[in-house]
């Protein structure tokens, strides 16, 4: 029995050794896991770059859409006939203009301070009125006018400006070509005009002013009544000192939309700088009915009339400006000068006192008032 038991134990031990050997042979190391961290990092970086590119592409368009202005209803055209204007001069205008023979010495003194009366705070710089969104204020109903026909001749100011611009040689696209097409575009054309206007805004934001100018000229050649494009183009031309072309653009726009008082003020300012006071007065008178509540407009018109020696007209316009803005000392001072020129000394002194009492005069005008009250 002991021999049998010993044999059985030996067999069991042998089987255990074989099993352990087979088990060791079957055990293998697991394959190394794939390292995907580099791939995941690459995907994350690409996603961030895609988001940044989308934001860079969308931001200028969002800004342009916010600045875009909806189309404005076109008012009936009122021809304005300014006198022929001489070639543009880059130098600042002469402060004083030779007064008519009938003007008194006091009137000549009043004409010698236009720059003080129209200082930077007055909002009467050439492009100041063009920085705001165009708008046509509501006006009283007017008698119906015969609509412009497609074959009708262009308004006198636009025609005069176009003839002048046709003779001028400039490296850029001339603005006078816009005179040929002044009728509003259809629905599809207006949508294209809006899209081109937004593109011009993006070009301006990217400092590509000349390209923006050419785009706006193309818009107005197709759609002369696109208000926002005309306003932006006029501002860009003035900033580039292309004053002949700015004059033409503004004159054409006022022939279509006389209610754009900002355009009228800017065009009149160009005419004053060229010593065309009579033309400036006609321009302002043509749009005056739309500016009853605009003190700057009335005060500027009064200033032009005063320099022309039309003292009674200047008095009425200054009084209108004072009714709108009684706390503005410049209009009281202008009224006093006009009354003084009209030989109404007592009323003039009262106006000077009111001007000083406002406390709104700059040092130069304050010194003038003090001199008048001595």
Indicate if 185 and 212 belong to the same structural domain.
Answer: yes
> 0.85 cut: is pTM over it?
no
State which residues form the domain around 198.
153-274
Q: What is the pLDDT of residues 245-266, one digit of tens each?
A: 999 999 999 999 999 999 999 9
HEC profile for the chain?
CHHHHHHHHHHHHHHHHHHHHHHHHHCCCCCCCCCCHHHHHHHHHHHHHHHHHHHHHHHHHHHHHHHCCCCCCCCCCCCCCCCCCCCCCCCCCCCCCCCCCCCCHHHHHHHCCHHHHCCHHHCCCCCHHHCCCCCCCCCCCCCCCCCCCCCCCCCHHHHHHHHHHHHCCCCCCCCHHHHHCCCCCCHHHHHHHHHHHHHHHHHHHCCCHHHHHHHHHHHHHHCCCCHHHHHHHHHHHHHCCCHHHHHHHHHHHHHHCCCCHHHHHHHHHHHHHCCCHHHHHHHHHHHHHHCCCCHHHHHHHHHHHHHCCCHHHHHHHHHHHHHHCCCCHHHHHHHHHHHHHCCCHHHHHHHHHHHHHHCCCCHHHHHHHHHHCC
In-domain check, residue 195: yes
Range in 40-49, 163-172, 225-234, 324-333 with the lowest mean pLDDT: 163-172
Indicate if 159 and 263 belong to the same structural domain.
Answer: yes
Instruction: Identify the pLDDT of residue 249.
Output: 94
Indicate if 164 and 262 belong to the same structural domain.
Answer: yes
In-domain check, residue 79: no
In-domain check, residue 40: no
Q: Judge whether residue 228 has pLDDT over 90.
A: yes
Cα–Cα distance between 270 and 275 in angstroms, integer?
9
Return the CATH number at 160. Answer: 1.25.40.10
Indicate if 303 and 268 belong to the same structural domain.
Answer: no
Instruction: Identify the pLDDT of residue 66.
Output: 54
Instruction: Identify the pLDDT of residue 179.
Output: 41
Cα–Cα distance between 193 and 184 in angstroms, integer?
11
Indicate if 165 and 261 belong to the same structural domain.
Answer: yes
- Mean pLDDT throughout 314-331? 96
In-domain check, residue 20: no
Cα–Cα distance between 197 and 229 in angstroms, integer?
6
Range in 18-32, 186-200, 212-226 with the lowest mean pLDDT: 18-32
Q: In a 10 Å sphere around its CB, with 0-12 CB exposed, 13-18 middle and 19+ buried, how is residue 232 labelled?
A: buried
Indicate if 178 and 102 belong to the same structural domain.
Answer: no
Query: Does 370 or 11 have the greater pLDDT score?
Result: 370
- Mean pLDDT throughout 347-357? 95
Indicate if 270 and 158 belong to the same structural domain.
Answer: yes
Q: What is the pLDDT of residues 85-109, one digit of tens each?
A: 333 333 333 233 323 333 333 333 4
Instruction: Identify the pLDDT of residue 74.
Output: 36
Indicate if 298 and 367 belong to the same structural domain.
Answer: yes
Indicate if 303 and 334 belong to the same structural domain.
Answer: yes
Indicate if 325 and 368 belong to the same structural domain.
Answer: yes
Cα–Cα distance between 110 and 113 in angstroms, integer?
6
Number of structural domains the chain divides into = 2
Indicate if 306 and 368 belong to the same structural domain.
Answer: yes
Indicate if 268 and 297 belong to the same structural domain.
Answer: no
């Amino acid at each position: 029995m002991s021999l049998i038991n010993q044999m059985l134990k030996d067999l069991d031990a042998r089987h255990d050794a074989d099993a352990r050997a087979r088990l060791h042979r079957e055990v293998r190391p697991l394959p190394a896991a794939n390292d995907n961290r580099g791939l995941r990092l690459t995907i994350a970086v690409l996603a961030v770059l895609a988001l940044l590119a989308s934001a860079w592409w969308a931001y200028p368009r969002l800004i342009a859409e916010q600045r875009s202005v909806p189309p404005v209803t076109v008012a009936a055209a009122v021809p304005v006939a300014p006198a022929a204007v001489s070639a543009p001069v880059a130098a600042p205008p002469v402060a004083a203009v030779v007064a008519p023979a009938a003007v008194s010495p006091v009137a000549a003194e009043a004409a010698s301070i236009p720059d003080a009366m129209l200082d930077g705070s007055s909002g009467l710089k050439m492009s100041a009125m063009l920085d705001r969104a165009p708008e046509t204020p509501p006006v009283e109903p007017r008698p119906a006018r015969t609509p412009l026909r497609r074959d009708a001749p262009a308004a006198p100011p636009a025609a005069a400006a176009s003839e002048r611009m046709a003779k001028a040689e400039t490296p850029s696209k001339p603005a006078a070509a816009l005179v040929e097409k002044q009728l509003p575009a259809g629905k599809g054309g207006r949508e294209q005009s809006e899209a081109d206007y937004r593109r011009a805004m993006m070009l301006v934001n990217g400092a590509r002013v000349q390209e923006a100018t050419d785009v706006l000229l193309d818009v107005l050649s197709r759609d002369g009544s696109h208000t926002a494009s005309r306003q932006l183009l006029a501002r860009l031309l003035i900033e580039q000192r292309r004053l002949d072309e700015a004059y033409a653009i503004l004159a054409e726009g006022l022939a279509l939309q006389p209610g754009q008082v900002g355009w009228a003020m800017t065009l009149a300012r160009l005419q004053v700088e060229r010593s065309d006071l009579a033309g400036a007065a006609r321009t302002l008178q043509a749009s005056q009915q739309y500016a009853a509540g605009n003190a700057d407009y009335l005060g500027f018109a009064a200033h032009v009339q005063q320099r022309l020696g039309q003292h009674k007209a200047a008095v009425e316009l200054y009084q209108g400006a004072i009714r709108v803005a009684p706390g503005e000392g410049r209009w009281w001072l202008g009224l006093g000068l006009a009354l003084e020129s009209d030989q109404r000394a007592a009323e003039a002194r009262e106006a000077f006192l009111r001007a000083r009492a406002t406390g709104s005069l700059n040092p130069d005008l304050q010194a003038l008032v003090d001199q008048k009250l001595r």
